[in-house]
Each structure stands twice: as C-alpha cells, then as structure tokens.
Structure 1
Amino acid sequence: MTVIDIPGSKSVTARALFLAAAADGTSTLLRPLVSDDTEGFAEGLKALGYEVRQDADAWHIQGRPQGPAAGDADVYCRDGATTARFLPALVAAGAHGTYRFDASPQMRRRPLGPLTTALRTLGVDLRHLEREGHHPLTVHAAGIKGGALTLDAGQSSQYLTALLMLGPLTAEGLSITVTDLVSEPYVEITLAMMRAFGAQVTREDLTYTVAPTGYRATTYAVEPDASTSSYFFAAAALDPTPGREVTVPGLGTGALQGDLGFVDVLRRMGAEVEMTATATTVRSTGRLHGLTVNMRDISDTMPTLAALAPFADGPVRIEDVANTRVKECDRLDACAENLRRLGVTVTTGPDWIEIQPGTPTGPAEIATHGDHRIVMSFAVTALRTLGITYDDPGCVRKTFPGFHDVFHDVFQGFPHLSGTGFGAFTRTQ
C-alpha cells in the first residue's frame, strides 16, 4: 500500500481564513494549505489590518467582527479566485473604509460580475475601475443592512459562497434565491464551515437564509485536498498491474469536499475503491472502461479524467462542464489541445469533451496556460507516455508547490510505469 500525505484543501483553507477573520476571538487553523493562493489570501488579510500568525502547521487569526483594522488599503489578489471574490465581500461588511483590489492578468480575465452586482443590490458602493464585472475594483465600506436578493451562480459557486459567508455580518441577515448553481458540493462545504464557526443558515429549495449571528472563533482542522488527491487516485487506477493501490488518509466517508466523488468515476471505470471513516483507497484492476459522466458538481477534476481517458477501452465523454471554460484557462480547450498534441482524437462542444481511446505519443510539450490543474493532470498521462514536458511546470505553486517531487517519489516505485516515460516530466520546474 502507498500512503500519501496530501496537503490541506485550498477551498477549506480559504473559507476558514474568511470565517476566522470575521469571528469574535482568535481562531487556529490546523494543517492549512501553504501555497501561492492561500499565502495570497493571508497577505490580503494582513494588508487589511488583520493579525495573522503563520506557524509551520497552524495559522492563528485574530478576528475582527467590526471589519478591517485598516481604514484604507490596497489588496493584490494574485491569481487567487477565492481571494479576489471573498475579500471584497468581507470588507464590504465593515463599518467604514476604502479598499482597492487588483489581481494578476489571469485573474483579471475571470468574471466577477454576478457577485459585485449582488453587493450593489445590497447597497455597497463598489466601482470596477477598468472592465465592468472584473478586477480591479474599489469598495467603499459602510456596513450592510441585509435583505433579499437573487443570484445566478451558474458560472461559479464562489459567488454564492462569498454572499453566504457575508450574511452573518449584516445587520438583518440575508435571503439568497439562486437561479442557477454549479459545483453545488462546494456550497455544502461553505454551509458546514459557517455552522462550525457559529452561524445559523438554512436552505429551502433554492433559497438560502442566513441569520445575522456573527461568528465565534474556533480551532479548525483543514482536511486534505480532494482535488489534488484526484491525480494520485487516477495514477493508481492507471497502473496495468492489478492490486496496485494508493491510500489518502484524512479523506473518508465524512469528508466535506465533493471532489472526492471523483473516486466514484474511477469505480465506474473499473478501479476498486475502498472508503472508511478516515481514509480512501483506490486500487487498480488492470483495466479502465470508457463511460459518459456528468461532472457539473466535480468539474475541477474534469482535467484529471481527460488526461486519464485515452487509456480506457472505450470513449470517455464528460458533460455539463461549461464553467471550466472560465477557470484559470479554458480547461476544455486546453485539455483537447494537449491531447491532440499527443495524437489522441478529441471532440468538444460548449459544455462537453469526448476522448477516444488510443495510446498517447510523445515527445510533446504540454501548453499549461499557467493552470496548475493542467500540469498535474497531464502528469498522470506522462506515467505512460514518453517525452512529456511543460511550458510552465512551476505554476503548480498555486496549490501544491511540491507536487513534482511528491509525484515523482510516489510513482517511481511503480517500475513498469516509470520505465515507460515517467522521467520525462520530472524536475522540470
């Protein structure tokens, strides 16, 4: 058995940072993810005047229910979507202050409009400085009364998460009716974590009601990242020798993250999956079957499946993933482009991709588009493809700075895989 210690969840770490900053008292986050995205979120909090102390395995945040200590601040969100979407909502609830937000060119391209439109509906004085619905923007905070609003979260569930987490900080609470929602399991993470920090939130049909309770400080353990685990689970399933397995402790039947549902896709393809309360194991059976799968709720793992798909015995069709076109890059097109570079037959539509079985051939350079998930997904393909390299392997720093070393150390122990081309992508950062 190969047991892998996966870093903490990016999604959980970002939410915990927001909730801790808004809470009354000092919160401690245990085993938070340390990466460019989460470091950027922490730096943003510091720029706003929050006290954040970062020890090796724990971060301590002094909460300020009244809002940022700084009355005027500039926040650079880097590439982080959670930073860019959550922090403007956090500062908007403050009693006073002017806050300017900007982000990397990649993040500037990603949409923000549904969230900022909702904030304006709640009376927030907010201006986009260049392109409407995108960073950079300025927020003039004066507190939020609350009320009812309608939200389209069909592009990103992060819009809804930002507003839900804002709700307890308003004077009268929020009622949010959703007309469309993608990646719903991420919203379930939000609700569970809000309750852990003392909030009261309910859902009836498509309406979420949040009481104006504020938050209380707590100690919160961050579980391993399920999306990151998908690359290791996929690699285990790819092994042609039955019985090879990978176990990730800390992700079990009670895990918050919906992306752990990726192992159900691997089970449908023929892998063996074992889940306990404390861990998940994926075991190879030596075969992978084609399938058609709706990945709307686990779309961050779509590139993982796309990179694995050529090794199945039939076509793999992934549907209902239009939102992946507005991630760090257009992931549907990026996956198709790179698979074609490897000689794989691929077709795409507005919200789907279909990949035909076939042995990928190298050498080929993977066009990463600066997207960490493209790099990590095609590391799976590289296990059985000679000559794969990346144009920007270092972009994994966004969520897993040590990915290349860890992946190499784990799978060099699979000699029949490492002998077929594994070394081509390693240590190229």
Structure 2
Amino acid sequence: MSLVEIPGSKSVTARALFLAAAADGVTTLVRPLASDDTEGFTEGLRALGYQVERAEREWRITGRPQGPGVDGASVFCRDGATTARFLPTLAAAGHGTFHFDASEQMRRRPLGPLTTALRDLGVRLEHRGAEGHHPLSIEASGVEGGEVTLDAGLSSQYLTALLLLGPLTRTGLRIHVTDLVSAPYIEITLAMMRSFGVEVAREGNVFDVPAGGYTAARYPVEPDASTASYFFAAAALTGREVTVPGLGRGALQGDLKFVEVLERLGAKVEIGTDATTVTGGTLTGGTVNMRDISDTMPTLAAIAPFASGPIRIEDVYNTRVKECDRLDACADNLRRQGIDVATGRDWIEIRPGSPKPVEIETHGDHRIVMSFAVAGLRTPGTSYDDPGCVRKTFPGFHDAFAAWAAQPEG
C-alpha cells in the first residue's frame, strides 16, 4: 500500500476565501490549496481591500461584512473560474466601482447566467467586451435581495456565487434554479455556509438564503478529490494500491464518487471514515453518466483504451466550456494516439487499443495534462506541449506523480 498526500481542495479553498472575507471576525484556513488559482483569488481579495496573511499551512483572513475595504479597484482574475465568478459577486455587496478582467482563456468562458441574475437583483454592471464574458465593471451599492431565477446548466458556480452572496444582501435571497449541473458542488457550498453560521433552506430547486451575514471560523480544507482521481486511476490502471488520507465517508466533495466509477469498471475500492483506498484489477467496459463529476471525465477518458471493452461517458456537455473543450481535447489526443473514438454533443465513446506515445496537446488545461500523465504509465514516451499548466491546481504534480510511480510495488 502507498499513501499519497493530496493538496487541499481548490473548490473548498475558493469558497472558504469568499466566506472568510465576508465573515465578521478573523478566519483561519488550515492547509488550503496554494496554486495559481488560489493565489489569484487572494491577490484579488487584497486588491479589494481585504487583509490576507498567508503562512505555509495556515492563512488568516480578516473579514469585512460590509464589503470591500476600498471604493474602487481593478482585479485580474488570471485563469481562475471561481475567482472570476465569485469576486465580482462579493464586490457587488459593497460600495464603489470595481473592474474585473481575466486571461484570454477565462475570457472565453461564459459568465452571462450569473451577471443576468445579478442585474435582475438590481446590480449595475457592464460587460466591456463580449456580452456575458469578462472584462466586467460593477457600480456597486449593495444588494437589496429578493427573488431571482438562474440557469446553472453550464456551471454550478453561478448558483454557488449567488448562494454565497445571499447573507450579504439586506433582505436575503430566494433563488429559483431552472437547470443545474455538477450538483454535488452545491452540497459543498451549503455545508460550508453552515460552518460559517448560515443555514440555507432548500425545497427542490428553490433555495432560500437568509440575510444576516457570516461568523468567522477556523476551517480545515480537505484534500482535493479531483486531484486524487489521478492517483486512484493510476492504481486502477497498473494493478497497484493507493490510499489517500483525509478523504473518506464524511468528505464534502462529490468528485470522490469517481472511485465508484472505477469500482464498476473492475477496481477494488474501500472508503473508510477518513481515507479511501483503490486497488487495481482488470478494467472492463461500460457506460457511465458523469454529469455530477464531470471534472474527472478526462481522467477516465485517458485510461479508457486500456479497458477490455468500450467505455462510453455520457451527459458531460459542460466539459466543453471549461479551460478548453475537454471533450474534443480528449478525443483528439486519443485519436492522435491511434485510438478509435466517437463523440457527440455531450458524450464520448472510447474503444480498446494500444495508445502510441505522442506529444499531448494540452490547450493550457491542467486536467488534460494530469489525465494523460496517468495513461502515460502504460504509454512510455508520452510528452506534453505545456506541462507547466498544472500550476493552476497542483504545482508539484509531476514530481509527486513520478515519486508515486517510482515506489516499489507493495
């Protein structure tokens, strides 16, 4: 058995940073993720006038329930989707003029459903380029609250941003959701809001968020389940065993359900109270719906050629509007490796084969690199046109993965 220490969750760290900034008091985050995305988020908070102190394993954030500590700022969100969607929402609760921009990659990703909802709530904002995309300017004067309808069919982050905003409004929010993807991420948001003193009432796809603000907390950040998927998949692919401590039955992150997919396809899985172990076997084919865990779609797609039968992944349209069109990126790279692949609007089917070593076209997407690194364990000579893009979520990935692969079996 080999133990792998996984860095803190990106999703949990981003939510915790918003909650800490909005809370009354000083919040301590324990073992948050340090990566390009979270550095961009903390840089944005500082630009908005929040006090953030970062040490190696603990970050301290002094909250401002009244909103940003400045009446004007320009924030560059880098490649971070949570930064680009959460920080404008946080700024809307304050007072002043705030400008937001992002990388070219992030500028292409949609923002429209969230900004439409904010406008419906009375927030004055303007897209300074393409409508529904960054760059964005907000003339903030607080948010009254009320009822709003939201389409979260492209990203659950739109709903998370509004849920996080709710307690900062003057009267609270009632959010009607017409479509929702990656629903487990909303459970993360609701559980974390509860830890900061806010209970959201939910009836179906209607969420009632009370006004009243947040209370500061000491908050431990659990390991990133999406990142853990690469090590779990590596064990499944090679017949080895890997244990990730800190991710067990009580884990917040829905992406831990990726191990259930591996179990269906032939791996042995044990989920304990505070750790999960995957032991490899013979991978079989099958059809898998990954709507709720779509960030792990590339992980499965990359190792699918080594299964004994075709693997079909369905209901993953939203992967087309991530850092790149992940569905097409996976298909194109697999075809370049000589694998038979078919795709549709929201599905991909991969037939068994022996992938050839090629240079993977990453499209600057960290998940494409890490997914094909797993498959590279069975395809020596695989390389990447931008291996460094893993800094977005796991700067030390290549060293950590190589160290695990070099461990003697058993």
TM over 0.5: yes
Aligned to 1:129: 128
| C-alpha deviation, 1:202, in angstroms | 1.0
| C-alpha deviation, 1:284, in angstroms | 1.4
Contact 2:24 2:214 in 1 (8 A): yes
**TM-score, length basis structure 1:** 0.95
Aligned to 2:68: 68
SS at match of 2:401: helix
Aligned to 2:31: 31
SS at match of 2:15: helix
Partner Cα separation in structure 1 for residue 157 and residue 23 of structure 2: 20
CA RMSD, aligned part only?
A: 0.9
| C-alpha deviation, 1:359, in angstroms | 1.1
Aligned to 2:337: 342
Partner Cα separation in structure 1 for residue 337 and residue 26 of structure 2: 51
| C-alpha deviation, 1:387, in angstroms | 1.6
- 1:248-287 alignment, distance < 5 Å: 248-285=244-281, 287=282
SS at match of 1:332: helix
| C-alpha deviation, 1:386, in angstroms | 2.5
Partner Cα separation in structure 1 for residue 313 and residue 185 of structure 2: 20
Partner Cα separation in structure 1 for residue 406 and residue 340 of structure 2: 29
| C-alpha deviation, 1:132, in angstroms | 0.4
**TM-score, length basis structure 2:** 0.99
Partner Cα separation in structure 2 for residue 119 and residue 113 of structure 1: 10
Contact 1:168 1:212 in 2 (8 A): yes
Identity of aligned residues (%): 71
State the aligned residue count: 410
Aligned to 1:97: 96
What whole-Å deviation, never above 9, does each CA across 1:7-28 have from its counterpart, x for those lacking one?
0000000000000000000000
Aligned to 1:298: 293
| Residue 310 of structure 2 corresponds to residue 315 of structure 1 | yes
| C-alpha deviation, 1:413, in angstroms | 2.1
Partner Cα separation in structure 2 for residue 114 and residue 34 of structure 1: 29
| C-alpha deviation, 1:222, in angstroms | 0.1
| C-alpha deviation, 1:248, in angstroms | 0.2
Partner Cα separation in structure 1 for residue 35 and residue 252 of structure 2: 20
Partner Cα separation in structure 2 for residue 102 and residue 49 of structure 1: 17
| C-alpha deviation, 1:200, in angstroms | 2.2
SS at match of 2:91: helix
Partner Cα separation in structure 2 for residue 199 and residue 104 of structure 1: 33
Aligned to 1:58: 58
Partner Cα separation in structure 2 for residue 249 and residue 356 of structure 1: 33
| Residue 48 of structure 2 corresponds to residue 48 of structure 1 | yes
SS at match of 1:13: helix
| C-alpha deviation, 1:414, in angstroms | 5.1
Matched to 1:315, the amino acid is: P
What whole-Å deviation, never above 9, does each CA across 1:249-305 have from its counterpart, x for those lacking one?
0000000000000000000011000011110000112x0000100000000000000
Partner Cα separation in structure 2 for residue 341 and residue 205 of structure 1: 44
Matched to 2:32, the amino acid is: P
Partner Cα separation in structure 1 for residue 54 and residue 205 of structure 2: 38
SS at match of 1:203: strand
Structure 2 residue runs without a partner (length 5+): none
SS at match of 1:292: strand
When residues 216 and 281 of structure 1 are mapped into structure 2, their CA distance, relative to the original with a 3 A threshold, is same
Partner Cα separation in structure 1 for residue 336 and residue 295 of structure 2: 22
| C-alpha deviation, 1:219, in angstroms | 0.3
SS at match of 1:298: helix
Aligned to 1:419: none
Partner Cα separation in structure 1 for residue 409 and residue 60 of structure 2: 43
SS at match of 1:115: helix
Contact 1:200 1:213 in 2 (8 A): no
Matched to 1:260, the amino acid is: L
Partner Cα separation in structure 1 for residue 199 and residue 32 of structure 2: 24
SS at match of 1:192: helix
Aligned to 2:233: 234
| C-alpha deviation, 1:381, in angstroms | 0.8
Partner Cα separation in structure 2 for residue 150 and residue 129 of structure 1: 24
Structure 1 residue runs without a partner (length 5+): 417-429
Partner Cα separation in structure 1 for residue 136 and residue 228 of structure 2: 34
What whole-Å deviation, never above 9, does each CA across 1:348-393 have from its counterpart, x for those lacking one?
000000000111112x100000000000000011001122110000
Partner Cα separation in structure 2 for residue 361 and residue 327 of structure 1: 26
- 1:135-284 alignment, distance < 5 Å: 135-240=134-239, 244-284=240-280
What whole-Å deviation, never above 9, does each CA across 1:387-428 have from its counterpart, x for those lacking one?
211000000000000000000000112579xxxxxxxxxxxx
Partner Cα separation in structure 2 for residue 52 and residue 316 of structure 1: 45
